[in-house]
Structure 1
Amino acid sequence: MQQADLFEPLLAAYRNVQINDEGISNAALYEALDLVGGERKPVGRARQPHNLEHRKVRWHQQTLRKLGLLERVPGQRGNWRLTPKAQEECDLTPAPEGVALVAFSTDLGVAIWTRTETLAGKLTDQISAVITSPPYPLRQARAYGNPSEAEYVDFICHSLEPLLKNLIVGGCIALNVSNDIFLSKSPARSMYVERLTLALHDRLGLHLHERAIWNNPAKPPGPTYWASIKRQQLNVGYEPVLIFCNDPVRCVADNRRVLQPHSKRHAQLLAAGGEVRTAAYGDGAYKLRPGSFGNLTAGKIPKNLISISHVSKEVEKTRKAAKDLGLPVHGALMPVKLARLLVEFLTPPGGLVLDPFGGWLSTALACEEAGYPWIALEKMAEYVAGGGIRLSGRPGFRASFDLEGWNPGDTSRN
């Protein structure tokens, strides 16, 4: 069993056995995990016999403690309990290994409750673009969990590699990742983004097509300690969007699909037939001649600095609806406006868009608005249900669950 595979069974065991805040003993935990008995083998320099499965469980307890999900019960040796943080996060139900359940569909797409690795190598459709915001390598994991910084490059590469056989020639992969991962007890930023960029090229043969910057004007100030207390950092304000292509020469991205309105001044310049003056700038690198900028164009090419707030009325409405239904709120959404710009820029008309980390289905909603077919995979049942709230008014919406009565743990309908 791999390291991450034991986290969920451990947490599930505490959720199912723990009564109030009393915690449970390791003996009760081993029984809940069906690890009673087992072979004992010599370990360490002293070669003392230990049950290796029990030893692994205790190691994971320490890891969960560092994540703020587990704590010792004061005064009770060997008793552990869930922290308030972990108890708040108990509402998320991960898809069991090997399970793929169609949660809902529309005329344009389908949302599937599954683990990315379950379906990634089994898809048969040709994909024009992969557009997603994968979990960030945060030190304090969010409710849905995330790989550590050390695991992150392998995690992303293993998630994307099976999809490459379905990606059309010239197809693109866009990853919204975080710039704000810091080394432990240091204001120095992690270089995982650079390592990820190199790994996607060296391991998977992908080429860095664009490095766009998503500027979020509503981003909360931080990092609190290094910016507000130690004053060694500026407040954060942006996140990278890394865009890769499997064949950059034949890349299907086209900025004519995302042209923006001309500014009032430029529109006046076009109407006047262009410049009337002669000038040179940048030591002659840029020259103006009479008639420059006089050709009528359909719009302005967007810059790769994209300013979009993560706050929107649609998201607030969805959060209220989720709370009313007792669903957990997703705390890290990619803005639909950002997703839509990426969908239209990177995907030819009619091309299929895949989001392997669907979350609350921002990419799917962007595809619905822009008229593109889509597939979204999401591991957490409650999040795909939240995505269902967002897309419930779309043409052809058909859900395989009742938001108020569906039991996500019942996989008998697969």
Structure 2
Amino acid sequence: MPTYDTMPLLDLGLENPFKSIISAKPYYFTEYGSAYLGEALDIMSEIPDSTLNLIVTSPPYALVFKKEYGNVDAQDYVKWFMGFAQEFHRVLKDDGSLVINIGGSWNKGVPTRSTYHFELIIELAKVFHLAQEFYWYNPAKLPSPAEWVTVRRIRVKDSVELVLWFSKSPYPKADNRSVLQPYSKDMQRIIEKGYVAKKRPSGHNITSKFRRDNNGAIPPNVLQVGNTDSSSPYLKKCKECGMKPHPARFPKDLPQFFVDFLTEPGDIVMDPFCGSNVTGFVAENSKRKWIAIDTVEEYLMGSEFRFPRVYK
């Protein structure tokens, strides 16, 4: 089980980081953040305007088959999610961002896709600015739905999910130098040996500056992240304590990218559908303050395993 301190919290110099703005009692808190059991709209209603730097979340998808964590039908999904949109907009700072990981869905009984996530983009773009769309490529994703992919074989497997970056203003806080990637071998060779300035067939004029070493390459908007954490400490501790882990966790590298890209230490990150609180875990390790909310106590209880010390 997580380690709980039995000493008075005041003696430890620690208290709920959001005690001054959220009256609801946290389910637990850590040095940098607080997790709340309850409805996201209720908890957010206490947060003052223009408080958060980033909201990053993976809400329940509009899937054909119901999941134990709850998910809304595709035809109702946009209306359901837009109930949160105005509140997200209110609590974000003017240069803040909203990042949503949302998977696609199939229409029941036929091998055709729902357009619900595209409809959601259009509606959210009426409240926010669509800063950029990302694609999460998961090479380990299983073929689904099985009837169309592995039985009738008339579709290929889905390996990509949308990650949508919305911003409150056209110029949100962001710095791609915080998420630079190692150069490819070809680029390393160009930097070492030089590059002949020339115009490409596309019309782009590539100058000698192309060989400049900028300490890494600017990443693309396709994020290749596997979701195979079968040996993570979180899962091990859930097993040891006989607790069922959250069935739809997203990999920590996904929120990590956007926490690094769109915030800096001391900023506030929120996940209103936190599940096993991967976002809070990433924020804690990155020295960002965080707020996590979920309606299922079992998920929050298990999420405590992600932290070396939690306080009640």
TM-score, normalised on structure 2?
0.87
Q: State yes or no: 1:303 paired with 2:232.
A: no
Q: State yes or no: 1:231 paired with 2:136.
A: no
Q: Aligned Cα RMSD in Å?
A: 1.8
Structure 1 residues 370, 307: CA separation in 2 closer, same or farther (over 3 Å shift)? same
Q: CA deviation at 1:347?
A: 1.8
- State the partner residue of 1:322: 238
Question: Is the 8 Å Cα contact of residues 137 and 148 (structure 1) preserved in structure 2?
Answer: yes
Q: How many equivalent pairs are there? A: 289
Question: Which of 200, 205, 229 in structure 2 is aligned with 1:281?
Answer: 200
Q: CA deviation at 1:310?
A: 0.6
Give, in whole Å, the separation in 1 of the partners of 2:204 and 2:306: 48
Question: Is the 8 Å Cα contact of residues 121 and 163 (structure 1) preserved in structure 2?
Answer: no
Deviations 1:325-356 (A, max 9, x none): 23222111111011100111122442110100
- State the partner residue of 2:302: 386
- Partner AA of 1:110 in structure 2: S
- State the partner residue of 1:312: 229
Question: Which of 33, 58, 67 in structure 2 is aligned with 1:109?
Answer: 33
Taking every aligned residue pair, what percent have the same amino acid on both sides? 29
- State the partner residue of 1:358: 274
Structure with more relative contact order (C-alpha pairs < 8 Å, separation 6 or more) = 2
Q: State yes or no: 1:254 paired with 2:170.
A: no
Q: CA deviation at 1:101?
A: 4.0
Q: State yes or no: 1:345 paired with 2:257.
A: no
Deviations 1:181-240 (A, max 9, x none): 1112111100001110111122xx211111100000111112211112222211111110
- State the partner residue of 2:78: 153
**Runs of at least 5 residues in structure 1 that lack an aligned partner in the other structure:** 1-98, 401-414
Instruction: Give 3-state SS (helix, strand or coil) of 2:136's partner.
Output: strand
Question: Which of 120, 123, 126 in structure 1 is aligned with 2:44?
Answer: 120
- State the partner residue of 2:167: 245
Question: Is the 8 Å Cα contact of residues 100 and 118 (structure 1) preserved in structure 2?
Answer: no
Larger Rg: 1
Question: Which of 230, 250, 275 in structure 2 is aligned with 1:334?
Answer: 250
Question: Is the 8 Å Cα contact of residues 198 and 206 (structure 2) preserved in structure 1?
Answer: yes
Deviations 1:359-406 (A, max 9, x none): 001111111222211110111111011110012x1xxx3332xxxxxx
Question: Is the 8 Å Cα contact of residues 253 and 348 (structure 1) preserved in structure 2?
Answer: no
Question: Is the 8 Å Cα contact of residues 133 and 162 (structure 2) preserved in structure 1?
Answer: yes
- Partner AA of 1:306 in structure 2: L
- State the partner residue of 1:133: 58
Q: Which runs of 4+ in 1 moved over 3 A?
A: none
- State the partner residue of 1:412: none
Question: Is the 8 Å Cα contact of residues 100 and 114 (structure 1) preserved in structure 2?
Answer: no
Q: State yes or no: 1:222 paired with 2:140.
A: no
- State the partner residue of 1:189: 113
Deviations 1:121-156 (A, max 9, x none): 211371001000001111221111111111111111
- Partner AA of 1:295 in structure 2: R
Deviations 1:252-292 (A, max 9, x none): 121111111222332232233x30x3544334x12345x34
Give, in whole Å, the separation in 2 of the partners of 1:101 and 1:138: 33
TM-score, normalised on structure 1?
0.66
Deviations 1:162-192 (A, max 9, x none): 232221112110000002x111211110000
Question: Which of 269, 276, 297 in structure 1 is aligned with 2:190?
Answer: 269
Question: Which of 203, 209, 221 in structure 1 is aligned with 2:131?
Answer: 209
